[in-house]
Amino acid sequence: MPSRISRQTHGSRSELALPREHPNRQKVEDSMRALLKRCSVGAVAAAVLLLAGCSQSTNSPANGESGAAKSPAAPAQLVTAKTAFAPMYKAAIAWSGDVQLMHITPKDVPGFKNEAGKAAMWEATFASPSLHKLRVYTYAITSVLPEIHKGAAAGLPRPWAGHTRDSMPIDLALFSVDSDAAYQAASTDAAAWLAKNPGKALSSLEIGSTYKFQAPVWYVQWGDNKSGYVALVDATSGKVYKNR
């Protein structure tokens, strides 16, 4: 016998068809409405979960970065003369291939205190025999605008008359003793004087070359020329030549 329950299709919609006089018609229709309602709620819930997942993925830190705040950068550290010399020499030799080092000395930078042969900024003078000019370069561990720039910086070239007996080029092959080692050697030599003159600050620390010595020397001075102490440290051996 053909079933009394049949499915009728209208376009894209299907609905359950029962004879109007069927005793369970109302119950079946109520069940179908409840089923459709549950399906609709389930579809909405699935959509909400999908959107939540997309949102969570979109808001996740990119490239595996954590949400934790980055630690602050470490403060800039004082450097020795030879550390500062390398970038200055690189810049100078790009200016003129025959540059010669004449002097290196530390300079002050606001917010930093030079100590123990290390400084926040160094100044080097280079001369070019072919150009008959000299040029002052600086190397700083930080920028203090407008005058101090981090890294190597060059001043304007100036006329240069050439070497003199008291100002000769530094032989880089003999520049072995760095500024911190020279300061330590000079401090040891001046220990007794410094103990008697605790208020005298370091007033000069410079490497240069003269006809008096076979190697470049570090000139280290505390106080002034009238009431100070000077030590000359061989930049090759570290020996203290002279003191007063």
pTM, two decimals, is 0.70
pLDDT in tens, the chain (244 residues): 444 434 444 444 444 444 455 455 565 456 555 544 554 444 444 444 433 444 443 444 444 444 455 667 778 899 999 999 999 999 999 999 999 999 999 999 999 999 999 999 999 999 999 999 999 999 999 999 999 999 999 999 999 999 999 999 999 999 999 999 999 999 999 999 999 998 889 999 999 999 999 999 999 999 988 889 999 999 999 999 865 5
Q: Is residue 129 within 8 Å of 162, Cβ to Cβ?
A: yes
CA pair distance 179, 173, nearest whole angstrom: 16
CA pair distance 202, 220, nearest whole angstrom: 8
**pLDDT of res. 244:** 52
